Amino acid sequence: MAREFKLPDIGEGLTEAEIVRWLVAVGEEVTADQPIVEVETDKAVVEIPSPYAGVVLSHGGAEGDVIEVGAVLVTIGEPGEEKAPASDGEAPGANPAAIPAVALDPKPIVGTLSEDAELLSPPAEATTAPAAIQALPVVRKLARENGIDLETITGTGPGGRITRADVEAAIAGGDETPPATTTQEHAAHVEPHAVREIAVGAGHGISDEDMVPEEAHAVTRGDQRRPLSRLRRTIAANMAKSWSEIPHVTTFENVDATRLLEVRRALGDRHGVKIPIEAMVIKAVLPALEEFPEFNASLEGDELILHGARDIGIAVDTPEGLIVAVIKNAEQRGMLELAFEVRRLGEGGRERSLTPAELTGQTFTVSNIGAVGGGHGTPIVPHGTVAILSVGMAREQPIVYDDDLAIAPVMPLSLSYDHRVIDGAVGRRFTALILENLEEPALFLAG
C-alpha cells in the first residue's frame, strides 16, 4: 500500500525547507533509512532518510521548491502500484524524523594566525550522488540557475571538486549558454512577492501598498537582481534583530601573542596536529566565563539566565555566508578535543552538513576574523546571548618590554557585550583576565 512521508520538523522552529536535490528518482527502489533527499533549512543542508522501503511513486516537489513542515515530501509504495496514498500515518516502528548522523574525519580549516588559509578535503560523496561530479549542493544550485552543465566543468577544488568559483568562471566565460533573458527582461518579470521577500529578508518591512512597479526603477545595463539565499535571509534577519534590540558596547585590546603562538606550535609538534587558534582562545576564555558568569548568560524579560554549561559558538565563514557552529560543554573538553571540534565543525559548516543541534544554543561566541586577515572590529552580539569575542590576525609590531623596545606578534581583541546586562567596569575586568590568560597560556592550561 502506498504511504505518504511528510516533511518532519528537523530543527527548532523549522516551518519549511527547500528541496536541494533528490537522491532517489521516481520509479527507483529505496530501502528503509536510505537517504532520499537533500533539503536546505535556514542554516543547514541535511539528508532526510526514507522511513519505508519500496518504490518512489512521486516527489512532493521539484528541486528548488520550498515545502512546509507537514506537507507530503514523497510517496512510497510497491512496484507497479499507482499513487493512492493512505492517510493513516507512518508504519509501525518508523521514525520519519530521524536524521542520520554526519560522520566527519578531522581535517584542517582556515583559522590560523601566522599561516596561509588551509585547504579542506571534502568528505566522500553519498553513494547515491553522481560519481563523476563532486560539487556542494549550493554549487549545484548556482549552476542549475544559470544553465551550466557541471559535466562540462573541470573542478579546481580538492580532489577535483567543482567550486563556486569554477561555476562563476563558466558563467562569465560563456562556457554554457545562460538563459537568454536580458537583465531588463528579467527585472520586468520578477513577481512582486519576490521583490517583497528580498526586502523583508534584508530587515525592511514592506507592505503591498508600499510596492512600486518594477518599471519605475531604473535598471541599467549590467545590473543584476539577485534574490537573497535562504541562509542570507536568515543572517539578515538575525543581524537586524540583534542590532535593533541589543545596546552594544565594544572594548578593544591588543595581546602580545608571543607565548600563545609558541605554546600552540609546541602542542602541535608534540601531538602531530595543528591547533586552531580558536581552540586556544576558547580555553583562555573559559576561566573568565567562570569568574564572570554574566557573560555566559541570556536576558529574558526582567530575568538573566546564567547558563551552567558553556556552549561556545565559533563563527564559520561559508560560501553562502557566516554561520555559528556550537561546541557543547566546552568546559569539559581538553585542548586536543577542542581542537578536533573546531576543525570538525568548521569543515561541516562549510560543507553545510551540520545538524540543526550543532548550529544552535551557543552561550558565548568566538569569531576569528584573523583567519581572513582582519584586525579590530565591532562584532554583533548574537541574539539570545550577551557577548561575543572577536580575535584578529597577529602581526609583528613594536612593543615596550621593561622600557626596552622590541618586535612581537600582536593580536587584536574586540569584545562586544550587551550594556543592559554588563557595565563597562565589568567588561574591562573580563577583558583583562582574557588578556592575561592569552599572554601566558600556562595560566589556563594548568586548569
Q: Which residues are paired to 410 by β-bridges?
A: 256, 395
Identify whether the C-beta of residue 167 lies closer than 8 Å to the C-beta of residue 133: no
Q: What is the pTM of this model?
A: 0.60
The yes or no reply on domain 247-445 and CATH 3.40.50.720 is no
Return the domain boundaries, the chain.
3-77, 247-445
Query: What's 173's DSSP letter?
Result: H
Q: Give the pLDDT score at 11.
A: 65
Q: Of 186, 248, 307, 419, which residue is the catalytic one?
A: 419
CA 290, 295, 300, 302 dihedral sign is: positive
List the beta strands (DSSP E) in 132-207. none
Q: Give the pLDDT score at 219.
A: 59
Q: Which residues are paired to 29 by β-bridges?
A: 55
Q: Which residues are paired to 58 by β-bridges?
A: 75
Q: Which amino acid is at 308?
A: G
Is residue 212 packed enough to be buried (19+ CB in 10 Å), middle (13-18) or exposed (0-12)?
exposed
Q: Give the pLDDT score at 178.
A: 40
Query: What's 86's DSSP letter?
Result: B
Residue 264: strand, helix, or coil? helix
Query: What's 370's DSSP letter?
Result: G
| 3-77, CATH topology level | OB fold (Dihydrolipoamide Acetyltransferase, E2P) (2.40.50)
Q: Cell digits for 137? A: 549542493
Compute the distance between CA of residue 354 and CA of residue 325 in angstroms, rounded to an integer: 8
Q: Give the pLDDT score at 196.
A: 34
3-state secondary structure string across 318-363: ECCEEEEEEECCHHHCCHHHHHHHHHHHHHHHHCCCCCHHHHCCCC
Is residue 419 among the annotated active site residues?
A: yes
pLDDT along the chain (447 residues), means of 10: 84 76 90 88 80 89 87 86 52 41 35 34 41 68 83 79 82 55 40 36 40 52 82 86 93 95 94 94 97 96 95 91 93 95 93 87 94 91 96 92 89 96 96 96 85
Compute the distance between CA of residue 409 and CA of residue 114 in angstroms, rounded to an integer: 9
Q: Give the pLDDT score at 381.
A: 96
Q: Give the pLDDT score at 113.
A: 34
Residue 205: strand, helix, or coil? coil
Nearest to 326 by CA among 355, 301, 350: 355
Alpha-carbon distances of 246 from 85, 414, 425, 430, rounded to whole Å: 49, 17, 18, 19
Q: Taking the mean position of all CA atoms in its chain, how far away is CA 270?
A: 31
